[in-house]
Amino acid sequence: MTDAAATAAPIQGNAATAQPEAMSWDSKTRRLVMLYVPLACFVLILLFPFYWMGITAFKPNAELYDYKTYNPFWIGSPTLDHIKHLLFNTAYPRWLVTTMTVSICATILSLFASTLAAYAIQRLRFRGSQYVGLAIYLAYLVPPSILFIPLATMVFQLGLFDTPMALILTYPTFLIPFCTWLLIGYFKSIPYELEECALIDGATRIQILMKITLPLAVPGLISAGIFSFTLSWNEFIYALAFIQSSESKTVPVAILTELVSGDVYQWGALMAGSLLGSLPVAIFYSFFVDYYVSSLTGAVKE
């Protein structure tokens, strides 16, 4: 019996050590299949258009139109001709300045109006305030193509057609509803007791808004600002309809209408314009990404 037990002990020990190794291998395989493979596919699908845009912007025309000789997924002889043509032979710098001006002004105007609306709906607590907030959000769901005709009539009557002011005043029609809905949810997470203490001390509503609520709501304001700036920068329908002169066009409209002659597409310049046009949005987002993430987790906890 003693010899049998002595010989069985190493076998049991080997089985015990082999089982954790098998379990660890199974967990690694499961983690690879369930996490890393889908994540790699998602990153590839998400970043491939930007990669294709980047290599097309720096490819010479010979490589762009001859895929039999050159690799379509790589650059053989990089060139800056497309970027030079875009910056010095077109009005691209003017388009970029116009787009930046319209986006910044529309964002500031939308944040100002949506902050006042969200604070009034959430803090003043008047009858039917919840329904007003819901109605404002439902206004965001209205397609811009439906609002195009009445807005076009107003733009013509006010004499704003073919001016950046037409876009600055029309963009808030779809920016304010969403920003208001977003800030209502953020103001709701700020403890109301802070404002009650200020009211007892004799502060007015404007003072409470400026000195208490807005400093605590900075992440929410930045999140709404990122949304407004990005949407204004990439807007196409209103910019195409309300701006006709080449010098006053925004980047999304100009690179499509000015760099296409009939059925001839200047692919290098088109991709270069898209690449340079996406950089300001990426830079703006990178500066405030921490505030944007913190706005998704709420504000001050009671």
By the 8 A CB rule, do 225 and 135 touch?
A: no
Residue identified by tokens 């990669």 is: 51
By the 8 A CB rule, do 260 and 266 touch?
A: yes
**Can you count the helices (H) and strands (E) in the chain?**
17, 2
By the 8 A CB rule, do 217 and 119 touch?
A: no
Q: Are residues 109 and 256 in the same domain?
A: yes
Residue 213: which of 188, 176, 177 has the closest Cα? 188
Q: Are residues 234 and 277 in the same domain?
A: yes
Determine the 3-state secondary structure of 182 from DSSP: helix
Q: Are residues 35 and 156 in the same domain?
A: no
Q: What is the pTM of this model?
A: 0.79
Where is pLDDT greater, at 11 or 294? 294
CA 64 to CA 101: how far, in whole Å? 34
Q: Are residues 94 and 23 in the same domain?
A: no
- What is the domain extent for residue 56? 2-64
Mean pLDDT value of segment 55-76: 84
Give the pair of three-digit tokens for residue 10.
């190493």
Phi, psi of 34 (to 5 degrees): -85, -25
Quick check: 300 pLDDT over 50?
no
Quick check: 289 pLDDT over 60?
yes
Of 11, 35, 64, the last residue of a domain is 64
CA 276 to CA 28: how far, in whole Å? 41
Q: Whole-number mean pLDDT of the chain? A: 82
Least confident among 37-41, 166-170, 219-223, 296-300: 296-300
Give the pair of three-digit tokens for residue 91.
């009005």
Q: What total of structural domains would you count in the chain?
A: 2
By the 8 A CB rule, do 174 and 231 touch?
A: yes
Give the model's pLDDT for residue 61: 84
The pLDDT tens digits for 109-135 are 999 999 998 888 888 877 777 788 788
The pLDDT tens digits for 171-213 are 998 899 889 988 888 888 888 888 888 888 888 888 888 888 8
Give the model's pLDDT for residue 293: 63
